[in-house]
């Protein structure tokens, strides 16, 4: 028989479970949703790392803040061995655990995709940039004590780990994180640019489509590296091949940085051949690197992955 006390205890337990589930979802802590809506912000000036939630209006809600240490030499990374932490918008390319990492990297390490496609266009060199822990906790008492990586305490990295999906979750690193970039927010100019790009892509008007691309465009796609001219030729050939192109772009995320914007969205692509048969059909994540040219946003690089949130 259930007593009143037992019944009340059961109700309270159920309410607590429900509260936890809703709270986890709202703060990005459910096993799947946390990745889709979170990002990492790093402020080199204050040596702070923020875990943030991406809100529907493109703003960022800071969930928790940690102390970090960054490169021994101040400034943006440009070359191998300069001991600087790179500044820009990156993604985590892999996660490594002991014994596959050196003890100095602590409990785990997340490799960052530096140099990314923008950095490669800018001729930046170097590698092995990570977000990692440490076997020397006292390092966190020194603000600039890494060889270019972002370092936090082991127990804190275990907390941060829950918010990272390798290959997708972005980490934005700033020389100084100003409120404009810390808070995020809708950028109408970028939204108009994106909508126009999609419309011109679907119209199969190559000239209008290419007007959205930067003079220095360079991108590794389908096993080869395209510059702007070869990309235009490639797209013109597809236009002759297809009678229609449909691109459904959903879940757009804009990650702005003083150097450039990295944008990610879910792309559903369908094309129809001129003989009436179905052409290419694909679904995945498209990433755009958008840099200003003559005061206007232009795509300087892009990539597509079948990996999705």
Distance CA 270, CA 40 (A): 33
Render pLDDT for 210-219 as a digit per residue (tens, 0 to 9): 999 999 999 9
Q: Predicted confidence band at 36 (pLDDT cuts at 50, 70, 90)?
A: low
Render pLDDT for 238-263 as a digit per residue (tens, 0 to 9): 999 999 999 999 999 999 999 999 99
158 and 197 share a domain?
A: no
Assess if residue 21 is contained within a domain.
Answer: no
Contact 168, 45 (CB under 8 A): no
- Over 50: is that where the pLDDT of 303 sits? yes
Residue 7: the pLDDT is: 36
CATH number of the domain that 271 lies in? 3.10.450.50
**What is the mean pLDDT of the segment spanning 270-283?**
96
The DSSP annotation for 152-193 comes to --HHHHHHHHTT--TTT-EEEEESS--HHHHHB---HHHHHH
225 and 242 share a domain?
A: yes
Domain containing 116 equals: 35-183
**What is the mean pLDDT of the segment spanning 72-93?**
97
Helix (H) / strand (E) element for 242: namely strand 242-256
113 and 246 share a domain?
A: no
Number of domains in the chain: 2
138 and 266 share a domain?
A: no
CATH number of the domain that 92 lies in? 2.40.440.10
Residue 76: the pLDDT is: 98
Round the average pLDDT of the chain to a whole number and report it: 90
Contact 145, 72 (CB under 8 A): yes
User: Which of 130, 152, 183 represents a domain boundary (last residue)?
Assistant: 183
Q: Report the chain's C-alpha Rg in angstroms.
A: 22
Render pLDDT for 154-178 as a digit per residue (tens, 0 to 9): 999 999 999 999 999 999 999 999 9
User: Which of 129, 155, 183 represents a domain boundary (last residue)?
Assistant: 183
Q: Of 45, 277, 278, which Cα lies nearest the Cα of 174? A: 45
User: Which of 183, 199, 227 represents a domain boundary (last residue)?
Assistant: 183
Q: Is 122 exposed, middle or buried (0-12, 13-18, 19+ CB in 10 A)?
A: middle
- Over 70: is that where the pLDDT of 33 sits? no
The contacts of residue 176 (CB under 8 Å, 6+ apart) are 43, 44, 45, 46
């Amino acid at each position: 028989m259930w007593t009143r006390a037992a019944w009340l205890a059961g109700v309270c337990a159920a309410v607590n479970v429900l509260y936890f589930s809703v709270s986890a979802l709202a703060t990005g802590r459910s096993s799947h949703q946390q990745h889709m809506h979170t990002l990492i912000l790093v402020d080199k000036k204050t040596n702070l790392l923020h875990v943030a939630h991406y809100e529907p209006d493109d703003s960022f809600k800071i969930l928790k803040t940690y102390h970090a240490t960054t490169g021994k030499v101040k400034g943006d990374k440009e070359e191998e061995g300069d001991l600087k932490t790179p500044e820009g918008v990156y993604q985590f390319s892999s996660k490594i655990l002991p014994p596959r990492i050196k003890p100095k990297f602590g409990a785990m390490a997340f490799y960052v995709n530096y140099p990314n496609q923008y950095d490669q266009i800018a001729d930046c060199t170097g590698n092995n940039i990570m977000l990692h822990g440490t076997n020397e906790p006292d390092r966190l008492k020194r603000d600039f004590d890494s060889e270019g990586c972002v370092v936090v305490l082991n127990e804190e990295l275990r907390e941060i780990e829950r918010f990272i999906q390798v290959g997708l979750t972005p980490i934005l690193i700033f020389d100084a994180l100003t409120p404009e970039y810390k808070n995020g927010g809708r950028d109408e100019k970028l939204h108009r640019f994106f909508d126009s790009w999609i419309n011109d892509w679907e119209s199969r008007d190559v000239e209008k489509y290419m007007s959205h691309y930067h003079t220095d465009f360079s991108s590794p796609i389908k096993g080869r590296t395209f510059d702007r001219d070869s990309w235009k030729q490639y797209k013109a050939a597809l236009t002759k091949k297809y009678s229609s192109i449909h691109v459904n772009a959903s879940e757009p995320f804009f990650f702005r940085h003083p150097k450039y914007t990295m944008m990610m969205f879910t792309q559903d692509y369908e094309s129809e051949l001129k003989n009436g048969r179905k052409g290419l059909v694909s679904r995945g994540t498209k990433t755009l690197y958008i840099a200003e040219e003559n005061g206007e946003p232009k795509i300087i690089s892009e990539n597509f992955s079948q990996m999705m949130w």
